[in-house]
């Protein structure tokens, strides 16, 4: 009887040790997973863009045109917007441009320069239609609210503020760029 109690105690002790040894690696793995979680699986404040959260940030932005390439090279954010082959008017492009400017300078805190390229893909070929270069130090960003719609095709003041340049591909697709001029002396970059 005494041997049976000793044997039962030894089996119980072995069972406790085995269960503990099985439990410890699981706990260590859970701690390691918690330390290495990425933004896609754990909610984080999105006021700074990083290579780890760039997809999360841009998935929240509703654009009319398709995102092509997004590149974050501290502190420069480069975004390619791919223009639909269905034609259409450039207003959609500039609506998306305003959203990207607001994202970069009103929501994010670590973007110093935003480069936007409007791209066209046709027949396996890729062409740049226009490009925008906005910088954090631009006075108009700090002194004015960003309007809901900007028309840099017709408004030379906004064309200069955005450092907007058009290519011959733009002219072939949308026609020549013409605009009115306001007092440009205060808005030169």
Tens of pLDDT along 58-77?
999 999 999 999 999 999 99
Q: Give the torsion sign (CA, 111, 181, 184, 128).
A: positive
**For residue 119, what pLDDT is reported?**
94
Neighbouring C-beta atoms of residue 38, cutoff 10 Å: 11
**For residue 142, what pLDDT is reported?**
84
**For residue 75, what pLDDT is reported?**
95
**For residue 133, what pLDDT is reported?**
97
Q: How confident is the model at residue 2 (pLDDT cuts 50, 70, 90)?
A: confident
Report the pLDDT averaged over residues 71-88. Answer: 90
Bridge partners (DSSP) listed for residue 115: 78, 133
Q: How confident is the model at residue 35 (pLDDT cuts 50, 70, 90)?
A: low
Q: Give the torsion sign (CA, 97, 43, 36, 112).
A: positive
Tens of pLDDT, residues 100-149: 999 999 999 999 999 999 999 888 889 999 999 999 999 998 887 888 88
Q: Which residue has the higher pLDDT, 2 or 133?
A: 133
């Amino acid at each position: 009887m005494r041997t049976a109690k000793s044997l039962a105690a030894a089996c119980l002790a072995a069972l406790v040790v085995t269960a503990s040894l099985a439990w410890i690696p699981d706990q260590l793995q859970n701690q390691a997973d918690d330390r290495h979680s990425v933004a896609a699986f754990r909610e984080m404040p999105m006021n700074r863009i990083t290579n780890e959260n760039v997809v999360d940030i841009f998935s929240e932005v509703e654009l009319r045109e398709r995102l092509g390439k997004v590149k974050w090279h501290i502190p420069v954010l480069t975004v390619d917007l791919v223009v639909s082959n269905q034609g259409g008017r450039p207003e959609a492009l500039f609506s998306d441009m305003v959203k990207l400017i607001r994202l970069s300078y009103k929501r994010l805190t670590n973007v110093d320069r935003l480069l936007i390229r409007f791209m066209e893909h046709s027949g396996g070929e890729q062409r740049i239609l226009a490009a925008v270069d906005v910088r954090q130090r631009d006075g108009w960003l700090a002194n004015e609210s960003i309007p809901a719609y900007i028309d840099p095709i017709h408004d030379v003041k906004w064309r200069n503020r955005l450092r907007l340049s058009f290519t011959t591909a733009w002219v072939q697709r949308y026609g020549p760029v013409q605009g009115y001029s306001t007092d440009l002396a205060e808005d030169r970059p």
